[in-house]
Amino acid sequence: MEIAEIESYVSKIPDYPKPGILFYDISSLIIEKKAFYNSIELLIDLVKKYQFELIAGIDARGFIFASAIAHSMKKGFVMIRKKNKLPGKKISYEYNLEYGSDKLELNVDLSNKKLILVDDLLATGGTANAATKLIKKSGGEVCCFVSLIELDFLEGRKKIEIPTESLIHY
């Protein structure tokens, strides 16, 4: 399956979750087993060249792709969660959004671990940059950020200080 065929499973929903936003819905892609399987295989092809032990996924849709990649590559999986979603001792990283701020959290020690970081979509780069800094704060090293979709016109790649790979570009 070619990237263009995988892309055809991504629906574009105007004015969601608020007016002026174009939402890229992956529901049709992940329900179709061939499209989902092939998207994972193509994402794996993008990251094979990196040396890493773990795969971190960003809450929530990043979990879908990160856990599937981790399973296929026989790697461990790390959850980067939104605030107040993890039990026990945790570290956090607060970052600014267009209107306000948000916080990501982690409850595992990543000292001396090399990871790739996965999300479904790269837009402005703010969340990916914050997740990278959170992993670094925990002692880990992110060697690559990978996303299924990248919105090139938002130039989010420029905010991320690590190699960045994306399968579908808009």
Contacts of 19 (CB under 8 A, 6+ apart): none
pLDDT tens-place string over residues 16-36: 998 999 999 999 999 999 999
Can you give the residue range of the structural domain that contains 107? 49-169
Which of the 8 DSSP states describes residue 59? T
* Residue 153: inside a domain: yes
Amino acid at 113: K
* Residue 62: inside a domain: yes
Look at residue 96 in the predicted model and tell me its pLDDT.
86
CATH assignment of the domain containing 76: 3.40.50.2020
* Residue 54: inside a domain: yes
Task: Count structural domains, the chain.
Answer: 1
Tell me the whole-structure pTM to 2 decimals. 0.95
* Residue 152: inside a domain: yes
pLDDT tens-place string over residues 33-87: 999 999 999 999 999 999 999 999 999 999 999 999 999 999 999 999 999 999 9
* Residue 80: inside a domain: yes
* Residue 111: inside a domain: yes
Token code pair at residue 140: 């880990």
pLDDT exceeds 80 at position 152: yes
* Residue 28: inside a domain: no
pLDDT tens-place string over residues 86-138: 999 999 999 987 677 899 999 999 999 999 999 999 999 999 999 999 999 99
